[in-house]
Structure 1
Amino acid sequence: MPHTIVTNTCEGVADCVDACPVACIHEGPGKNVKGTDWYWIDFATCIDCGICLQVCPVEGAIVPEERPDLQETP
């Protein structure tokens, strides 16, 4: 099951982008409610490796399940 980036918790650090082995993490348009850039995970491409969870410095920004209700997807 793919992981989810919680749009309104993400702070746009983007450590996950370079760490992802399948390049399934993309920048979202605009800013989130915190006023920061945000990223989203393409559920169809995610291989559930968990690397994004390990490298993200923002607690709670990524959850280990597919939660489209928490992640805005352009």
Structure 2
Amino acid sequence: MAHTIVTDICEGIADCVNACPVACIHMGNGINKKGTNFYWIDFNTCIDCGICLQVCPLENAILAEERSELQQIN
């Protein structure tokens, strides 16, 4: 199962982008409700490795489950 970046928690630090072995993490369009850039995970490409969870410095910004209602692209 794919992981999910919670749009309203993500602050665009992007440590996960370079750490992802399959390049499934992309910058979102616009800003979230906190006023920061955010990223999203392509569920079709994610291999559920969990590296993004390990490198993200924000608590609960990435979930180890697919929750499309918490992740925005635009």
User: TM (normalized to structure 1)?
Assistant: 0.98
Corresponding position of 2:66: 66
Check conservation: 2:29, 2:73, Cα contact below 8 A.
no
Separation of aligned partners in 1, 2:16 and 2:51: 7
Deviation at 1:73, TM superposition (A): 2.4
Question: Segments of 4+ in structure 1 off by > 6 A?
Answer: none
Determine what percentage of the aligned residue pairs are the same residue: 72
Q: Confirm or deny that 1:46 pairs with 2:37.
A: no
Corresponding position of 2:2: 2
RMSD between aligned alpha carbons?
Answer: 0.6
Separation of aligned partners in 1, 2:30 and 2:72: 11
Corresponding position of 1:37: 37
Could you tell me which amino acid in structure 1 is paired with residue 60 of structure 2? Answer: G
The DSSP-based 3-state class of the residue aligned with 1:30 is coil
Matched length: 74
In structure 2, the gaps of 5 or more residues are none
In structure 1, the gaps of 5 or more residues are none
> Would you tell me which structure has more helix in proportion to its own residues?
2
